[in-house]
Amino acid sequence: MTTPQLELIDLLRAIDPHAPLAERHLWLIGLLDWVRGEAQNPDVAVARVRMLIDAAELRPDWLKLWHQWWEEFLTTVDATPLLADLGFASHGTFVNELMRRLRRRWLPPTPETTDLSELFTLLFPSDFDARWLRALDARTLRRLRIVLFRAEPLGAPSRVPDYALRSLMDALAYATSQISAVGQSADVRLRMSPEARDGRPFEDLPIVFEALRRAVLADGRQSAPAQVAAANLLEQLDACRAAASTVYSHLQEHGISVNIEFQLRQLRQRILRVKALLLCLETDSPAQATAQLLSHLVKVSQDSASMRALWSSSTELLAAKVTERNAETGQHYITRDAGEYVHMLGAAAGGGAVLALTTWIKLALGALALSAFWGGLYAGINYAVSFVIIMLLHWTVATKQPAMTAPAMAAQLKNMNTPEQTEHFVDEMVYLLRSQFAAILGNVGLVIPVAIVVALVLQKLGWTGVMDPYHAQYILAHHHLLGPTALFAAATGVLLFASSIVAGWIENWFVFNRLDSVLAHHPRFTRWLGRERAARWGRYWREHISGYTANISLGLMLGLVPPIVSFFGIPFEVRHVTLVAGQIAAAVHELGMGVLHQPALGWAVGGIVITGLMNLALSFTLAFKLALTAQNVPAVDRRRVYRALGWRALREPLSFVLPLRLKRRAAPAAAKRVTPDG
């Protein structure tokens, strides 16, 4: 069995300073693999580093070869990209960085490279490397510096005098120039506050760095002039960071751009990188600072390969903006007294009546036996038109509410420090749940009778081709409680949530590009519409673009997603509680009173119930989780909230479905009046 000592001896014998570039780098990769060992305990890796130092001290001839190898390595590779640019996008845009990470995942790097940042991922490929580098103690680092990384190799003078200082200064020059460039770009500069722009922090940053470079080269890195210049550079970096932070205020008010948020995040990280490099420049313990910097770079290298980290960090502001808008809209769907409850019932009943007509149009389209795509497209247009009509009439669709109300609930969780705040949150949950109940009751309560009335009218007109007994029996069997109904209803809930995200994103895009101002003031529109009408159009679309987008996108998704998914062999059908209830009502009318004695009808009614539950649960859960993440809601005592909800359910169970006055206190005075719409 090979021991670590024997493996190390074999590695030491294999060193060749004159080997080809790839072979030299492969030898170093192998040496670090040996240090890593089983990659389980950092202390074991540190012990192996000490073993390497001991072996080197006992072999003067090998040390001479090593120093030749190390000098060849330093004169061949470029450390500036590693120190200044590792983990940053070369072009500063989200899409470019996304493509770079995909390429890195699918195309591994080659050891035949002079770019140390590319070689770095092969030398330190895992998070364990960051752990054992941090675990290196001061004595071991000092021995490493003296034995292996002395400035002057044994024998001839070195061709790389003060390589570390030169690399640090080059990296600082590169990093500060990148910070200055981002800060002076049009996307960032135009969105800064006037005070931040007038301070010229990014314009002056290269000048401040040049003063540091001259002081270091003239007087040394730890001289008094260099220390003063370094302090000035740190102060200038803080000014740059403060100026960049003012951009967020503009983005929150005028719309979010993922690319701008990505650039700002990169800028903040570059500032932190410059500060880390300055620490290596100023420190009295360069070995410790270097080890800590390498450990940090390993973490950066790992994070820079993560697709999830890129997406979550770059879209955090956009998610916050989307959920903020949905939270504002969601307040309108929550009823807090009997009057608002009755109003919700009426609005939901109107929505149910429209969807009864939508159901029959969908059945008529099915009778045409169109191809999957065109049938799905026409069905989607049918749904979209119906949802828009409901919105314009200020009626409501129950299943669209959860994705809007969940962010409003998440916002309530920000303040959960006292029992009173917990009780207030429970009040809001009660209001929400009974509002959902009223909306479903209104939708389903009217879609059934209206669907039967439409069936009677069609029968009177002699239009009997839309529904026949076989088709009616098929509908009842197809919506069986124990079939795939629950799964399809959950997937439909995901589509309901997705439509709210699309709506928020489109509204953000509309606001970010100031299209309301374009409509109101562009000469072409004002000539065509007149100034007053153009201004009204601008205001109208600013207020309603989200509603139109949510309804149209939901309708098209309900129609087109099933045939698209089925094309890939995945069975999927839309299960929307109101539409399902309308179809079952049409089937019952076709089969007559005898169907009341069939078990299939009972199972189908159970399918309606489970469809409603899954529609609401999935869309609410997804929206609630997104809102918690986007708003950075801290962890709360969920057990306390669940206990309070359970106690309320035992004490006032009917308050969850009926507009009873809550005994604890009246509804909040600041609550908005319910004005449901589609």
302 lies in the same domain as 410 = no
461 lies in the same domain as 513 = yes
Whether 258 is covered by a domain: the verdict is yes
Whether 161 is covered by a domain: the verdict is yes
Q: Where are the alpha helices (DSSP H) in 462-530?
A: 469-478, 485-512, 515-521, 523-529
358 lies in the same domain as 305 = no
256 lies in the same domain as 160 = yes
pLDDT given for residue 670 in this prediction: 38
Residues 271 and 238: their CA atoms lie apart, in Å, by: 8
Look at the chain and report how many structural domains it folds into: 2
Quote the radius of gyration of the chain (alpha carbons, Å).
Answer: 33
260 lies in the same domain as 403 = no
pLDDT given for residue 416 in this prediction: 64
Q: Say which DSSP state 115 is in.
A: B
412 lies in the same domain as 427 = yes
262 lies in the same domain as 365 = no
Residue among 545, 579, 531, 535 at smallest CA distance from 383: 579
Asked whether 172 and 78 are in contact (CB, 8 A), the reply is no
Give the domain CATH number at 621: 1.20.1080.10
Residues 613 and 599: their CA atoms lie apart, in Å, by: 22
353 lies in the same domain as 451 = yes
Residue 257's domain spans which residues? 4-314
* Domain-terminating residue out of 265, 290, 314: 314
Residue among 198, 215, 203 at smallest CA distance from 177: 203
Whether 484 is covered by a domain: the verdict is yes
What long-range pairs does 260-263 form, CB within 8 A, spacing at least 24?
260/187, 260/188, 260/191, 261/314, 261/315, 261/316, 261/317, 261/318, 262/89, 262/92, 262/93, 262/94, 262/97, 262/314, 263/92, 263/93, 263/182, 263/185, 263/187, 263/188
Whether 584 is covered by a domain: the verdict is yes
Whether 675 is covered by a domain: the verdict is no
157 lies in the same domain as 251 = yes
* Domain-terminating residue out of 296, 314, 332: 314
Whether 340 is covered by a domain: the verdict is yes
**Residue showing tokens 């929206």:** 623
Residue among 500, 89, 490 at smallest CA distance from 329: 500
153 lies in the same domain as 100 = yes
pLDDT given for residue 409 in this prediction: 63
pLDDT given for residue 407 in this prediction: 60
Residue among 433, 456, 504, 461 at smallest CA distance from 653: 433
In terms of pTM, does the model score above 0.85?
no
pLDDT given for residue 313 in this prediction: 62
286 lies in the same domain as 356 = no
Whether 674 is covered by a domain: the verdict is no
**Residue showing tokens 């529904």:** 467
* Domain-terminating residue out of 314, 343, 365: 314
pLDDT given for residue 436 in this prediction: 82
Residues 588 and 604: their CA atoms lie apart, in Å, by: 11
pLDDT given for residue 557 in this prediction: 95
Residues of the chain with confidence (pLDDT) below 50 = 1, 151-161, 665-678
